[in-house]
Each structure stands twice: as C-alpha cells, then as structure tokens.
Amino acid sequence: MPALPIDTDQIVITASRAPEAETQTPASVTIIDRQRIERLDEPIVTALIRLTPSAAVTTSGPLGSLTEIRIRGAEANHSLVFVDGIKINDPASGDTPRLEIFNADLASRIEVVRGPQSALWGSEAIGGVIAINGIDDTPGYNVKAEAGAFGFVRSSGAGSLVTGKASMSGAIGVQRATGIDSFNGQGDKDGYRNLSGRLRATWRPRPNIELGLSGLALTGTSEFDGFDPVTFAHTDTLDSSRNRLIAGRAWARIGTDTSPWRAQLAGSMLGSSNKNYLVDVQQNRTRGTRRNLSAQVERRLTTGAIEHRLIAAADLEREAFRARDTIYGGFSNQDRSRSHEALTFEWRGQANAVTGDVAVRRDAFNRFKDATSVRASVLVRVGGGFAVAGAYGEGIAQPTFFDLYGFFPNNFLGNPSLKPESSRGYELSLRYRRGPIEASLTGYSQKLHGEIVDVFDFGSGLFSTANRREVSHRSGAEATVGWRIGEQLRLSANYAFLQATQPDDSTLTEVHELRRPKHSGSVALDGASGRLTYGGSVAYVGKHFDQRDTFPFDRVTLASYWLADARVAYAIKPGLELFARVTNALDRRYQDVFGYRTEKRGVYAGIRLADRRSSP
C-alpha cells in the first residue's frame, strides 16, 4: 500500500473560541479520532487519555475506581473537561471530572489541549483542556456486546438520523464488573457498574441558522476498600460510592464558518450527586449544580494580506454546593453558592505562513478578587514541512467548595479565606508534517502561584487548607511522531519528561510532587486489512512518588510499569464482526496509588453489529 499523507482536515475546537484547522493552531494538541477509539475499544475514556503526552492517569484500584488526570504536572482539578460543549467538572467533587464513570462507547472524538487556557475558558484550565465529542451525526447505527475477565460485561447502542435540515444522534451504554480485591487480594472483590447516555439534536431552518440541544447522563457505583472506622487503618472494607451527573445544553447559532459575522447564544445546566456508603449505610452525600449562559460574536475581515477573526464572548455562571452527613449528626452539613461573570476578547490572524492569536479574559468573582488572564501564541511555517510555534498562557483555578467550607469533626476545617490559584507558562515547539510523517518536539515551563495545600494547625489539632506563599514549578519536554502506511497501519508514539516540584516546608528544599512520573510515554497503532481490523497500545509510566495515607504518612516510591492493550476484529459479513480484546497483556503488577491493587491480564470477546456507514 502507498504511504498516505497525515490527515490535515482535523478541526481543533478548544484551542480557540472558534474552531480552527489542526495545522494552523499554535497550541499543543492531541486528537484521538473515531476510528482509533473504535479500534482500541477501551471501556473508559481515561484509558485513551493516558495515551496522550504528559497526561498522568492515576486509578485508585481496578477499572471503574476513582481516577484522576494531571496534565503537565498540574493538579487533578486543574484540567477543564467539556463534553459536547458542556463543562462537566463536578462542583460536588472538588471540581474534578468524574471520567471513571464515562463510558467510552459514547465518545467519537477526544481532544487534549495542553498548557494554561484560562484566557479562553476560565477557571480550572491550568494544565489544559479536554474536549470529548459524543457520537457524531454520521447516519447509521452501532450495537455491541462484550464479556470477559473479572466478571466484566458491557453493551452499548448508538445511532444517528440525518435529513436535509435536521439531525439526531444518541447512544447508551452499560458496564459492570465484579473486579478484584483492591486491598491485598484476599478479601471481597471491588467491582463497579455504570450506565451512560447521550443525545444530540440539531435543526437548520435556514442554511445560516442552527438550533441545537444536547444532553448527557452518567451514573455509576464503585466499590472500594477504605479505612477502619475505629483504628483509621487502611483495610479491606465494604465501602462504595454512588455517583450521578446529568447535564444539558441548548444553543442558537447564526452564520457559518465563512460568514463575515457569526453569533451564538447558549445555555447549559448540570446537576451532580455523590453518595458514600459503608456496608450499605450512607455516610455522607454531596450535591452540586452549575448554570451557565454564554453569548459570542465573531467578525471575519481582511486587511491587506492578513485575515482577521475578532471574537467577543460573555459568560455568566452560577454554582451551588450541598453536603449532608449521617455519622456526625449533621455537623458537617453545608449549603454554599457562588457566581462569576466573564468577558473574553480574542484576535486571531493569518498571513501567508504565519498564524497568531491573542486572548484576554476578565473574570469577576463574587467570592474572590477579580482576575485577568492573557494568552498569546504564534505559528510560523518555515518551509520543507517544518514549523515553529510558541505560546505564553495564564491559568486560574477557584478554590473548591470543600477547600473553602469542608468540615469533619475532630479532623478537618476548611479555610474560607483562600484565594484562587494562578499559573503562568511558556512553551516552544518545533514541528514537522510532510507526506505520511508528522513529528514535534516541545519544551515548556510553568509556575504555579498560591497553590492550595493541606496544612495542620497544632493549636486546634485540625487539618485545613492554605495558599502556599512559595512558587511551585513544572517544566518538561514532549516528543511525538506519527506515521501512516495506507489503511494497513497508522502508528503514533510520544515521550514526555516532567520536572514537577514544590517547596518542602520542613527541609526548605524543592521536592517532587506526588503522582507525577518524571518519564512517561506511549505507542498506539491501528489499521485494517481485508476483513480484519486491529488496534493496540503500550503505555509506559515511570516511577513516581505517593504518600502513605496512614501513620507515619511518609512518602513512598511506586515502581514504573508498562501497560499493553490490544484488540482484533473479524468481519463475518459486512456490518457484522466478532472481536477479541486483551488488557494488561504483559500481566504487570502495578499501582497508580499506594495501597490500591489493580487488575492483571484480562481477556474479553464480543460481537458488533453496524450498518456500513458506521463501521470502521
């Protein structure tokens, strides 16, 4: 087969307030498209995000357990996540996205933009932005069922209807597993189950007018091993967490991608609930809501050789948090709310071989001091397939509701005087893209100011939170390469080096931050040959530090590991295929979080039915 050029038609949707071509964006972006998602066929989206550069994924136990993502050494609540344009960071769970309950069968595209992006999208966008598209509007259907190791069963269905003026697409998926004992392998098994659904509909009464609705529902239950209520030792317990998130968005858009003027008005709502149980007795619960209203106007014009795009956007957001307990007599109950407004201005220009971008955002908070964020970037194509890109970006993150107001008797008291965290970062990238090969080498440096950390007050004997006075540092390098030979093989690989340090108050030195490997990388491939389709990946996670969550609370080192997954499918006839999949093919014993075991090798098999338009 002849070598095929790298697809240059990919559209980046979060590196600017308006979509742009991947080859024209100065931002560091990784896109996982529908074809690779289907051929790798991972159950949970976090397994796919792990394959992107500088994305450290930590799972507290087997599949379906609490999972955190840290991009370029940022905190777990410093990555902003959108699903079909809806911000899904959970206000009831420390502003972290609960992606461990997001069924990958609902995703058709994943985009990861690395580096501070608060000048475009506001709070939480310090490490980067993740955008997940639901099932797209390609006409057809797709039904799948699978079973295998660790009592794992999943099934899903998706479909789309498209007419001249309207489209509707939806998907639903269910998964469950009995899992393993995450404590020591000798106790009860810790499994999970989830149910996810997604719906999207658009109507175009005229070619330049679009009205749309989208909705998302995630619900899941995860069993885990916690702490003895008397001795507080980590042990084999019957803990479980039940999580739910429901969100929707409506929008109206006037204009097209090539119109001189374009405008959009959108509103979204999100509700979440998290309940914790011990032996089926509820211990506490939290609820969160978020309402957002946004308006955006774009103007395209040309002056001389420069094509301009001017964007102005306004956002209004309201969040509420509610906490209730059953074991402390209601002493830790909380009812809190906050709001903020924002104005964003962006200029984007292109002239011959140069693309530039400048964005400024002003956030007005009702609980904190107002903040201004700036981002500036440039991409210069120097010929021969080479390009040079550079960027400066700023990020902010509001304190979480728990950091501000959390309370547990005789243990923890929040700090309502906290200030938002802020970050400033630079990056420089050399890129190559020609024929079947693409490659990049990027270096970056970021400084985090006012990092929110846990502190112990010897006067009260309680833990609390505080803004660190000293600066935390993150710097590193990323190398990527992609190669495509016909339809038979598409290969991509990356390596990331990270130096993430923070001041240590006891030793007055810089120490490595927890759960952030210095070395990481991955290789992924997919392809098709006749009736066979196949995909596979190998991820490397270097050794990293964690902290013992019981006395003496010392730092521990977790060993490096390789994690290999693969899938092969055979089409019995058009639209009907059988497939087999293996996870942790190298049968490695590893831990992402100290004291929580993960699953060894697993083998699975399934069947997939799809019409020709939606088959890979």
Mean pLDDT in residue range 517-542: 96
Domain-located, residue 393: yes
Is residue 5 in a domain? no
Instruction: Write down the pLDDT at residue 546.
Output: 93
What's the per-residue H, E or C state across 151-182?
HEEEEEEEEEEECCCEEEEEEEEEEEEEEECC
Provide the pLDDT confidence category of residue 228 given band limits of 50, 70 and 90.
confident
**CA separation for the pair 53, 443 (Å, rounded):** 12
Residue with tokens 């927890």: 514
The Cα-based distances of 34 to 8, 105, 226, 416 in angstroms read 15, 10, 37, 44
Q: How confident is the model at residue 7 (pLDDT cuts 50, 70, 90)?
A: low
Q: What pairing do the DSSP bridges indicate for beta strands 412-413 and 452-457?
A: unpaired
CA distance 520 to 478: 10
Instruction: Provide, rounded to the nearest whole percent, the portion of the chain with pLDDT above 90.
Output: 75
Residue 401 included in any domain: yes
What's the pLDDT score for residue 377? 97
At 614 the three-state DSSP class reads helix
Sequence-distant contacts of 371-380: CB under 8 A, at least 24 apart: 371/396, 371/420, 371/422, 373/116, 373/118, 373/119, 373/122, 374/119, 375/116, 375/117, 375/118, 375/119, 375/120, 377/26, 377/27, 378/26, 378/354, 379/24, 379/25, 379/26, 379/354, 379/355, 380/353, 380/354
Where residue 545 sits, what CATH number does that domain have? 2.40.170.20
Distances (CA, A) of 169 to 35, 141, 144, 607: 18, 9, 17, 22
- Please say if the pLDDT value at position 9 is more than 70: no
CB crowding 476-503: b at 16 or more within 10 Å, else e = bbbebbbbbeeeebbebbbbbbbbbbbb
Per-residue three-class SS string for 74-119: CCCCCEEEEECCEECCECCCCCECCHHHCEHHHEEEEEEEECCCHH
Q: What is the pLDDT of residue 334?
A: 87
Q: Which of 26-35, 56-65, 230-239, 601-610 has the lowest mean pLDDT?
A: 230-239
Tokens of 557: 């080192």
Residues contacting 442, CB < 8 A, separation 6+: 28, 427, 428, 429, 430, 477, 478, 479
Q: Taking the CB of residue 256, how many other CB atoms lie within 10 A of it?
A: 11
Residue 1 lies in a domain: no
Instruction: Report residue 298 CA to chain centroid gap.
Output: 27
pTM beyond cutoff 0.85: yes
Mean pLDDT on 605-614? 80
Rounded to an integer, the average pLDDT of 127-152 is 89
Following DSSP, what letter does each residue of 479-497 receive, concatenated? EEEEEEETTTEEEEEEEEE
Closest CA to 401 of 289, 316, 282, 317: 289
pLDDT of residue 146: 97
- 127 neighbors 152 (Cβ within 8 angstroms): no
Instruction: Examine the pLDDT at 212 and tell me if it is beyond 70.
Output: yes
| Residue 113 pLDDT exceeds 50 | yes
Averaged over 448-457, what is the pLDDT? Answer: 89
* C-alpha span between 19 and 111 (Å, rounded): 12
Distance between CA atoms of residues 61 and 207, nearest Å: 50
**Regarding predicted confidence, which is higher, 18 or 565?**
565
Domain assignment present for 46: yes
Of the pLDDT bands very low, low, confident and very high (cuts 50, 70, 90), residue 548 is: confident
With cut-offs at 50, 70 and 90, classify the pLDDT of residue 2.
Answer: very low
Residue by residue, what is the 3-state secondary structure of 534-556? EEEEEEEECCEEEECCCCCCCEE
Tell me how many domains the chain contains.
1
359 pLDDT higher than 70: yes
Residue 203, CB half-sphere, CA atoms under 13 Å: how many? 4
Question: What is the CB neighbour count within 10 angstroms for residue 260?
Answer: 10
Residues 6+ away with beta carbon under 8 Å from 507: none
Q: Which residues pair with 320 in a beta bridge?
A: 289, 337
Q: Which residues of 174-213 are buried (b: 16+ CB within 10 A; e: fewer)?
A: bbbbbbbbbbeeeeeebbbbbbbbbbbbbebeeeeebebe
User: What is the band of 195 on the pLDDT scale with cuts at 50, 70, 90?
Assistant: very high
Contact 135, 168 (CB under 8 A): no
Which structural domain, as residue segments, surrounds residue 581? 11-614
pLDDT over 90 at 306, yes or no: yes
Task: Point out the least confidently predicted range of 43-57, 584-598, 600-614.
Answer: 600-614
Greater model confidence, 323 or 442:
442
What mean pLDDT do residues 415-436 have?
94
Q: Indicate the residue type of 37.
A: I
Instruction: Compute the distance between CA of residue 463 and CA of residue 453 in angstroms, rounded to an integer.
Output: 10
Does a structural domain hold residue 6? no
Instruction: Rank 259-273, 278-292, 506-520 by mean pLDDT and report only the highest.
Output: 259-273
Q: How far apart, in whole angstroms, are the C-alpha atoms of residue 577 and residue 476? A: 43
Q: What are phi and psi of 535, to 5 degrees?
A: -160, 150
Does residue 614 register a pLDDT over 70? no
CA dihedral angle for residue 292, residue 449, residue 371, residue 253, rounded to 10 degrees: -40
What does the pLDDT read at residue 13?
87
In a domain, 392, yes or no: yes
* Average per-residue pLDDT for the chain: 91
Residue pair 378/27 in contact (Cβ under 8 Å)? The answer is no
- Residue 607's pLDDT band (cuts 50, 70, 90): very high
What local confidence, expressed as pLDDT, does residue 615 receive? Answer: 40
Place 311 in a pLDDT band, splitting at 50, 70 and 90.
very high
pLDDT tier for residue 135 given thresholds of 50, 70 and 90: low
User: Where residue 67 falls among pLDDT bands split at 50, 70, 90?
Assistant: very high
